[in-house]
Amino acid sequence: MFRSLWRTIRVEILTTPPTDSNQSSNQLPDDAEPAQRRALAIVTACAILALPIGYLIVHYGMPAPASTGALPVAAPVQSIARLEESVRVHPTVSNRIDLAMAYIQANRPGRAIPILDSLLSEDGSNAVAWNNLCVANIMRKAFAIAIKDCSNAIRIVPDFQLARRNLQWAEDEKKKAFAALAAQEEVARASRNADFYLAQGLSFLHVGDYDQAIKAGQRVLELDPTNGLAANNIGTAYMFKKDPKAAVLWFEKAIALAPTLQIAVSNLAWAHDEQAKPSAR
């Protein structure tokens, strides 16, 4: 999502038509001082980078009071490798929050979720972890789960405005998924092919109806037995149903059908990680 947002902003900047110098006094002339141009570049970059940060918490701690209206300030950028090493040596709450945050910013929510789950198993009152878990699940389009996560953050800290905005975001996306399902129901049954059921299965996943998502995926495989993506989506539904053992079988089937399907490879690792947890045994 954030990558597409960046692309959109970048296109708007690059395609803005040049303004005639007589029409605007804000355009920098060709011989403008380098310092002026550097200042303009810094302001533009800060405006772009601030957009995704507005939905996230970078440092562990209580959110700003609702009356201030302030958004969290981004921490200095650190490499994921450095943060991973910090967590290995000093697995503090703050270090793990920072590492999960870095994974989210790198568009790798699947790596952030186990860290946040671990934090919450230790302290279920960690509102920041609940909020960031909400964001990670929104990015994975698990909107029903994200809504529960943000609701937990708000239950713990009622004035957590960032979590309230994320909750609204998740609810809006879930409404879109329900609208997609309604539109799909209007499609004549005679026209419903493998692609239709693949899309329908994703919609069911997004609204949290995992049993129907599994049925839709199985229907895809009846019509197209070589569809690795359908097998992957069935595995994902089982993961959301907290059944990693069943999910492993489907992710393995997905990889057998489509060896280059990287999402299935990543999901298989996720399922193995969940299986390794004491609660899954």
Angle of helix 228-240 relative to helix 210-223, nearest 10 degrees? 160
Name the H helices within 123-243: 127-139, 143-156, 161-185, 194-207, 210-223, 228-240
Cα distances from 125 to residues 63, 87, 93, 206, 220, in angstroms, run 14, 21, 13, 26, 41
**Dihedral, CA atoms, 230, 231, 232, 235, nearest 10 degrees?**
120
What the chain holds in terms of domains, given with CATH numbers, is 80-173 (1.25.40.10), 187-280 (1.25.40.10)
Q: What is the 3-state secondary structure (H, E, C) of 71-91?
A: CCCCCCCCCHHHHHHHHHHCC
Please give the Cα distance from 231 to 204 (Å, whole number). 15
Contact residues for 165 (Cβ-Cβ < 8 A; gap 6+)? 54, 55
Would you write out the chain's pLDDT as a tens digit for each of its 281 residues? 444 433 332 222 232 333 333 333 333 344 445 445 444 443 444 433 333 433 443 333 332 222 223 333 333 345 888 999 999 999 999 999 999 998 888 888 888 888 999 999 999 999 999 999 999 999 888 888 999 999 999 999 999 999 999 999 999 988 888 888 888 888 888 889 999 999 999 889 888 899 999 999 999 999 999 999 999 999 999 998 989 999 999 999 999 999 999 888 888 888 888 888 766 54
Could you tell me the pTM of the whole model? Answer: 0.61
